[in-house]
Homo-oligomer: A and B are copies of this chain.
Amino acid sequence: MTLTLEDIADMCGVSRSTVSRVINGDLNVSERTRQVVLDVIQKYNFQPNMAARGLAKGHTRILGLVIPKGVQAIFEEPFFAMLIKGVSTRCNALDYSVMLWLAEPDYERRMITKILYNGLVDGVIVASMLMDDTIIDSLQQSKLPFMLIGRHPAHSELSYLDVDNRGGAFQAVTHLLRSGRRRVATITGLQNMIAGIHRYQGYLDALHERDLPVIPELVAEGDFTDTSGYISMQRLLPHKPDAVFAASDTMAMAAMQVIQKYGLRVPDDIAVVGFDDIPEASRITPTLTTVRQPITRIGAVAAETLIDIIETGSTLPRQMVFPAELVVRNSCGAVNL
């Protein structure tokens, strides 16, 4: 049987209230008593029961992290691992625990309800980038504090953290343009994900800034995956691009394969730039120029901001956009610019 507060109290010859006080750092305890209690707690490795505490206090110091499974494709990439790492590390540092839910699309609605109303978590971080996500609605109805990773297009009044996908793409394409490329193609990401949309807009921005026309044949719609990178690049090739900006490294790498298969060289014939900076980007030949996002940091800030919202009870939305950084390597053919 595991010990209770009362057991410890008996051993110390004090009341459970006093033990509770020393555990919770209440100042109104004499130094002598505190020491006695602390020793016994130490000795028996006592930990107060979380369920009981949660019930009595009305909060649990647990954060929910919800990752929609719909975005399965991304699961192979380090995105979620890094996000989880960021959230978890910061939570632990602030003495919170994290509850993880990979929301299955079909059960999603039922599951979300369960999460939101059973009082298990004090707040939720939702890593959803889908446009049509119903989670948001449920979230708003419940009064649980929550934080979105990736802004939601229709709800600018919510708290979110996001990467400047548009700015990152803009930088990438601008870099290509400044190094003299004139027929810059793009392989876009899914256009029902904010990230996909924004990266495409960054591409457009860069062209517009230099008054260059958007050539429809040089735009191929992908979905972030390997396969779509292959197909898109094959579709692009006949239109003689001299550079390609892909909305994910995975697609960029697939594109490079296609280019090389057709006897062309990267970057000499066609420059390639990706997005994400996955680990292999720096390992392949030629190394891939890409746009890096501070995902772990975003996870950490999400956790810390949500905890602040919970503890201060503040209701005004927190919004932050993190800069994306262009990492210039060899695949763009313009290291020093």
Residues of chain A whose beta carbon lies under 8 Å from any beta carbon of chain B: 2, 45-52, 54-55, 60, 62, 65, 75-76, 78, 80-81, 84-85, 88-89, 92, 97-102, 104, 107, 111, 113-114, 116-120, 226, 253-254, 257, 260, 279-280, 283-285
Contact = CB atoms under 8 A, between A and B. Distances in A.
A2 B47 contact: no
Given A2-B119, A84-B84, A76 B78 contact: yes
A160 to B, nearest CB: 22
Contacts of A50: 51, 118-120
A55 to B, nearest CB: 4
A65 to B, nearest CB: 8
Given A81-B76, A99-B99, A254-B283, A49 B119 contact: yes
A117 to B, nearest CB: 4
B101 A85 contact: no
Given A2-B119, A104-B92, A51 B47 contact: no
A97 B85 contact: no
A120 B116 CA distance: 18
Closest 9 CB pairs of A and B: A51-B54, A47-B117, A47-B118, A51-B55, A50-B120, A49-B119, A88-B102, A50-B118, A100-B100
A75 B80 contact: no
Nearest to A72: B85
Nearest to A51: B54
Copies of this chain per assembly: 2
B76 A89 contact: no
Nearest to A56: B51
Secondary structure of the A side of the interface? helix
20 contacts: A2-B117, A45-B113, A46-B117, A47-B113, A47-B114, A47-B118, A49-B118, A50-B118, A50-B119, A51-B52, A76-B279, A81-B81, A89-B102, A89-B104, A98-B100, A226-B279, A226-B283, A253-B280, A257-B283, A284-B284
B107 A45 contact: no
Given A51-B120, A226-B279, A280-B280, 17 more contacts: A47-B116, A47-B117, A47-B119, A48-B118, A49-B118, A51-B55, A51-B119, A54-B54, A55-B55, A65-B100, A84-B84, A92-B104, A97-B99, A97-B120, A98-B99, A98-B100, A284-B284
Given A75-B81, A117-B47, A283-B253, A92 B99 contact: no
A10 to B, nearest CB: 18
A223 B76 CA distance: 22
